[in-house]
Chain A
Amino acid sequence: MDIEQKQAELIDHFVKQASAQKGSALGSVIVEATSHPSLFAFSEILAVPTVAELEGTDNSLYLEVLRLFAHGTWSDYKSNSGSFPQLVPDQVLKLKQLTVLTLAETNKVLPYDQLMLELDVSNVRELEDFLINECMYVGIVRGKLDQLRRCFEVQFAAGRDLRPGQLGSMIQTLSNWLATSDNLLISIQEKIKWADTMSELDKKHRKEVEDRVEDVKKSLSLKKLHTVIRPMLTSEGLRRSTVNLVE
């Protein structure tokens, strides 16, 4: 959430710049935006009408670059490097950061091998440095590095720009979440009712037992009046012990 706040001013600044200029001048604005170290959101710039006009013109390459940064990954760039202009090192770094975000979208646990493949990094040390310095210190990702199991557990990842189809799946996830929590609420209520009924039953049972003890006591005390002293002692003892029994 803090990343959004940090980015908000930058986004405004670039949107203003983009709407003020046209054509090839936009190209430099786009390059500047994509190399900026704290900017990860590009859909606002994409939405500016002057940028959309670039489509189909000579400068459509820049539009493609912007789209790549908004939705694509490093492997997309590598496979179609012909259709994109040469990227400066800042842009390369940014694209790799965005790739990590995309990977975090699908899995929560990212194995090092997959990361190394996607990011074109050959050894674990470099990968970990990249993750720690470029991703975690910037604040776009939070998680734990597990070197023994060679994976990266993502706890939080900043959001990338949305593809048009993603809104539907987000709504679906939200409604699933809602349904699950509704069910949970119902089952908690049932559990509370169950606990109450069980305690009611228990109290009733106790009361029944105590009533029976009272009855036995009364019947024995009646017997007491009809017996001699010695037997009285034994029945007295028996009565006391039966009382203790049903305690």
Chain B
Amino acid sequence: MASSSSSGLTFKLHALVIVNISDHYTRVKSQMNPPLTSTSSTSTVNNNSSNGMEHHQQAPRVYGCVIGVQRGRTVEIFNSFELLCDPSTHSLDRSFLEKKQELYKKVFPHFYILGWYSTGSDAEESDMHIHKALMDINESPLYVLLNPAINHAQKDLPVTIYESELHVIDGIPQLIFVRSSYTIETVEAERISVDHVAHLKPSDGGSAATQLAAHLTGIHSAIKMLNSRIRVLHHYLVGMQKGDIPCENSLLRQVSSLLRRLPAIESEKFQDDFLMEYNDTLLITYLAMFTNCSSKMNEVVDKFNTAYDRHSRRGGRTAFI
């Protein structure tokens, strides 16, 4: 059903939309699951039906609208909001949609409804009904699909954008979904929040070791990426030297200018500054340790005194100090 799109539109998807959709899905899923597990454990009669329902609701489908701007051939999807979908008729709540649209128009006058979103692994036939329903708001709406199944082997984002195209199948012109490619756009605020989520520290505040490990792991992966890219360059140059690849002078010039920036930190001034800062950090750590130790000693002595004080009042030993 999905081939690649030929409309020539370029899509830009903002990170906020993806976060919104996944948040919606997670919320709905976590709200649905606990009540079901409690009912299925109590009654065995309803077990089959609730098991069936539970299975269906293990992966609830959530629906919503995506809004954004279309300038010429570029479609930029900025934001999204949720919608209620009636599962029996497979239609969206129209009045709610219009109310939300009005509200968003007041805040963002430039944004139009560009399409709708849902979760699932693949586009289905029933989605076409909703798609057609939205066609009176926007002549060619977009369908953004998020696959909530976590697949560690998959490297790309599990988000696909479908457009609808009129294809002639078996002599009948039909609307089918075709996949389109998209790029991710981020605004500064989005970048900060995505970065924050990516660097989640363990929530108990961890010991110093876990925080250090987390920080070092971040650096490790960054250097690993750099390493792999330099390896590619190296391979390319070796190939050029052997003569397998024709010499491309422009690239060679760029590589030589890049290599000229190395060694990046070897001047004497850097060494001086670096050692000074290193020594300062060590000194401060040492000082903090000292203070800690002396306060603990103070406490020990106080307690010892208290203990032996009581003894002496009963006619026992004298105080330690």
Give A residues with C-beta under 8 Å from B: 1, 4, 7-8, 11, 41, 43-44, 47, 104-105, 108-109, 154-162, 166-168, 170-171, 173-175, 177-178, 181-182, 184-185, 188-189, 191-192, 195-196, 198-199, 202, 230, 234, 237-238, 241, 244-245
- Do A237 and B240 have beta carbons less than 8 Å apart? no
Q: Does B151 contact A (CB under 8 A)?
A: no
Give B residues with C-beta under 8 Å from A: 207-210, 212-213, 216-217, 219-220, 223-224, 226-227, 230-231, 233-234, 237-238, 240-241, 249-250, 252-257, 259-262, 267, 299-300, 303-304, 306-307, 310-311, 314
Complex CA–CA separation, A12 to B257 (angstroms): 21
- Do A167 and B231 have beta carbons less than 8 Å apart? no
Known: A195-B213, A241-B303. A156 touches B314 (CB 8 A): no
Known: A175-B234, A195-B213. A181 touches B223 (CB 8 A): yes
- Do B252 and A234 have beta carbons less than 8 Å apart? no
Complex CA–CA separation, A166 to B311 (angstroms): 86
- Do B237 and A170 have beta carbons less than 8 Å apart? yes
Chain B residues with CB under 8 Å of A7's CB are 250
- Do A158 and B238 have beta carbons less than 8 Å apart? no
Which residue of A108, A109, A159, A230 is within 8 Å of B256 (Cβ)? A159
- Do A196 and B259 have beta carbons less than 8 Å apart? no
A15–chain B nearest beta-carbon distance, Å: 11
- Do A156 and B237 have beta carbons less than 8 Å apart? no
- Do A108 and B303 have beta carbons less than 8 Å apart? no
B300's nearest neighbour on chain A, judged by CB, is A245
Complex CA–CA separation, A154 to B262 (angstroms): 11
Which residue of B213, B238, B249, B253 is within 8 Å of A196 (Cβ)? B213
- Do A41 and B253 have beta carbons less than 8 Å apart? yes
Which residue of A8, A108, A159, A184 is within 8 Å of B252 (Cβ)? A159
B249's nearest neighbour on chain A, judged by CB, is A43
Complex CA–CA separation, A178 to B208 (angstroms): 31
Known: A170-B259, A234-B314. A178 touches B267 (CB 8 A): no
Chain B residues with CB under 8 Å of A41's CB are 249-250, 253
Complex CA–CA separation, A162 to B260 (angstroms): 13
- Do B209 and A178 have beta carbons less than 8 Å apart? no
- Do A167 and B207 have beta carbons less than 8 Å apart? no
B309's nearest neighbour on chain A, judged by CB, is A237
- Do B216 and A191 have beta carbons less than 8 Å apart? yes
Chain B residues with CB under 8 Å of A185's CB are 220, 223-224, 227
In this complex, the member of A4, A8, A109, A154 whose beta carbon has the largest number of chain B beta carbons within 10 angstroms is: A4
Complex CA–CA separation, A4 to B252 (angstroms): 11
- Do B260 and A104 have beta carbons less than 8 Å apart? yes
Complex CA–CA separation, A158 to B238 (angstroms): 22
Complex CA–CA separation, A108 to B270 (angstroms): 13
A8's nearest neighbour on chain B, judged by CB, is B250
Complex CA–CA separation, A241 to B249 (angstroms): 79
Which residue of B254, B262, B310, B311 is within 8 Å of A1 (Cβ)? B254
A160's nearest neighbour on chain B, judged by CB, is B253
Chain A residues with CB under 8 Å of B233's CB are 174
B226–chain A nearest beta-carbon distance, Å: 6
Known: A108-B267, A170-B237, A178-B230. A198 touches B252 (CB 8 A): no
- Do B227 and A157 have beta carbons less than 8 Å apart? no
B212's nearest neighbour on chain A, judged by CB, is A195
Chain A residues with CB under 8 Å of B216's CB are 188, 191-192, 195
Which residue of B254, B255, B311 is within 8 Å of A234 (Cβ)? B311
Which residue of B210, B230, B254 is within 8 Å of A177 (Cβ)? B230
Of all A-B residue pairs in the complex, the 3 with the closest CB atoms, nearest first, are A159-B253, A199-B209, A159-B257
Complex CA–CA separation, A59 to B263 (angstroms): 42
Complex CA–CA separation, A245 to B311 (angstroms): 17
A166's nearest neighbour on chain B, judged by CB, is B256
CB<8 Å pairs between A and B, sample of 16: A4-B254, A41-B253, A156-B257, A159-B253, A159-B254, A160-B256, A162-B252, A162-B256, A170-B252, A181-B226, A188-B220, A188-B223, A192-B216, A202-B207, A237-B307, A244-B299
Which residue of B209, B260, B304 is within 8 Å of A105 (Cβ)? B260
Chain B residues with CB under 8 Å of A175's CB are 234
Chain A residues with CB under 8 Å of B230's CB are 174, 177-178, 181
- Do B238 and A171 have beta carbons less than 8 Å apart? yes
Chain A residues with CB under 8 Å of B208's CB are 195, 199
Chain B residues with CB under 8 Å of A173's CB are 259, 262
- Do B217 and A174 have beta carbons less than 8 Å apart? no
Complex CA–CA separation, A159 to B256 (angstroms): 6
Chain A residues with CB under 8 Å of B260's CB are 104-105, 154, 157, 159
Chain A residues with CB under 8 Å of B311's CB are 234
- Do B249 and A161 have beta carbons less than 8 Å apart? yes
Chain B residues with CB under 8 Å of A202's CB are 207, 209
Chain B residues with CB under 8 Å of A159's CB are 252-257, 260
- Do B220 and A171 have beta carbons less than 8 Å apart? no
Complex CA–CA separation, A192 to B259 (angstroms): 30
B258–chain A nearest beta-carbon distance, Å: 8
